[in-house]
Amino acid sequence: MIGPAEQVREDVAAALAGAGFMIRADSGAGEPRELKLSERPDLIVVIDSADGPDAYSTAASWSGAGPVRPRSIVLVSSSERADRVRALTSGIDAVIPGDRVAVDLPIFAKTLARIGSPPPRVLLVETDPTQAETITQWLEQVNAKVTHCPDGITAREALVRETPDLILMDSRLPGLNGPSFARLVRQDSRFGLTPIVFLTHHDTVAEQIEALSAGADHFLTEPVDRELLTHLVVNRAERGRRLREMVHRDGLTGLLNHATLMAELEHAVEFGRRHGETFAFVMIDVDHFKRINDRYGHIAGDQVLLHVARIFQTTARASDLIGRYGGEEFGMILRRTDTGGAGVLAQKLRTALMEQPAVLGNGETIPVRVCIGIATYPEDATTAAELAQLADQALYRAKQGGRDRVEFTKEIRARLI
């Protein structure tokens, strides 16, 4: 946090502390020193004040700090003072008005915190093994995780197993060329926002226009400058990750939003069809949530939903996908799971919620109960729409049957757990 000791700096400190950040304040210019990668800050907040150093120059110095550039740079300024064009050229990721710090900064910081700080995951598609080895070494030295594929066909198969933060590829690949591969990537909803950077061999303007039309974001001409490559990869990968978080995540709980959950369900069906994998789709409804809102207020209701989301995240497996289906309803995609496995997880979720009631800010506890509906692929249905419909019907039967019910799709398997 960089800026003079004014009230706005105290507001920024309070907002960041509430989001779980450790804070260090600097009233001077805050120029970046020779940092080790392990000392790299997650977030720099520069306060634009008439009594402080030039905020845009300070932001630019941090933005140009290479691999140790902060994961995000935020400018806090009065709406009258903010120069958004200059902010863009200075590498600032967000401009927050001073009177919106208490509301907007925690949202931004929590989004950043949810992403965590994993190394950028790069899919490198490069035919030349020497070039690929060199680039891999460069990127690994700035803490990037690189998956190398020699051609577009292999890279397409890799995308079934991995979700890279950035795709770096030769524009002229054997078989499936660069633009064709980029088109295939953009057709997959999971990778619509993934940055694609082409390594070009003095390609013509027409070839670059074709690549842009196919979905390319940037070009690097070989021989590639090492500093430019590493700086570009680190920053584009992390900005892309933040953008995907904002687009694909529910703003309150941090879980997948409805649209993304349904897109992942479509992908699970396609993957199951190709590889013969069984999975379950689970729908969960918080019992009598309206009563909670009516009795305790909507802020308390939000706290309960956050609590439920955290219980789900800590109880489910790392491979399970969890989303907020809408309102007080949640959805889960349980990979490599049959009916019995889904029932076991449903019992664990209910038990965890019963053992850990939601606790409000004033210390009051709220017991939370849920109803659950389950449908499995391919036993119950073979399309995403049918799975969602059948799980919803099973959930409805569970709610009609009373509290704390788990219903499976087929009536003969309906049971109370």
Q: What is the pLDDT of residues 153-170, one digit of tens each?
A: 999 988 877 788 899 999
Please give the Cα distance from 142 to 229 (Å, whole number): 11
Q: 0.75 exceeded by the pTM? A: no
pLDDT of 414: 36
From residue 39, give the alpha-carbon distance in Å to each of 3, 33, 43, 252: 20, 10, 12, 30
Whether domain 7-115 has CATH 3.40.50.2300: yes
- Confidence tier at 413 by pLDDT (50, 70, 90): very low
| Residue environment code for 118-142, b if the CB has 16+ CB neighbours within 10 A, otherwise e | ebbbbbbbbeeeebbebbbebbeeb
Please give the Cα distance from 387 to 372 (Å, whole number): 14
Alpha helices for 256-329 (secondary structure H): 258-275, 289-296, 298-315
> What does the domain layout of the chain look like in residue ranges?
7-115, 121-247, 258-413
Three-class SS state of 372: strand
Question: Which one has a higher pLDDT value, 348 or 35?
Answer: 348
The residue written with tokens 């994961």 in the block is 71
Contacts 24+ apart (CB under 8 A), 361-368: 361/303, 364/296, 366/292, 366/296, 366/300, 366/304, 368/286, 368/287, 368/304, 368/307, 368/308
Residue 40 backbone dihedrals phi, psi, to 5 degrees: -60, 125
Mean pLDDT over 138-147 rounds to: 88
pLDDT digits (tens, 9 = 90+) for 269-324: 988 998 899 999 999 999 989 999 999 898 889 999 999 998 998 898 877 889 99
Q: Identify which of 266, 156, 161 has the alpha carbon closest to the alpha carbon of residue 169.
A: 156
DSSP class of residue 328 equals: T
Residue 333 backbone dihedrals phi, psi, to 5 degrees: -110, 115
Which distant-in-sequence residues (6+ apart) come within 8 Å of 183 by Cβ?
A: 214, 215
Q: Tell me the sheet residues that pair with 97.
A: 77
Whether domain 258-413 has CATH 3.30.70.270: yes
Three-class SS state of 162: coil
Q: Token digits for 64?
A: 């140009």
Asked if 7-115 and 121-247 have one fold, the answer is yes
Residue spans of beta strands (DSSP E) within 155-213: 166-170, 196-200
pLDDT of 372: 94
Whether domain 121-247 has CATH 3.40.50.2300: yes
Q: What is the CA radius of gyration of the chain?
A: 24
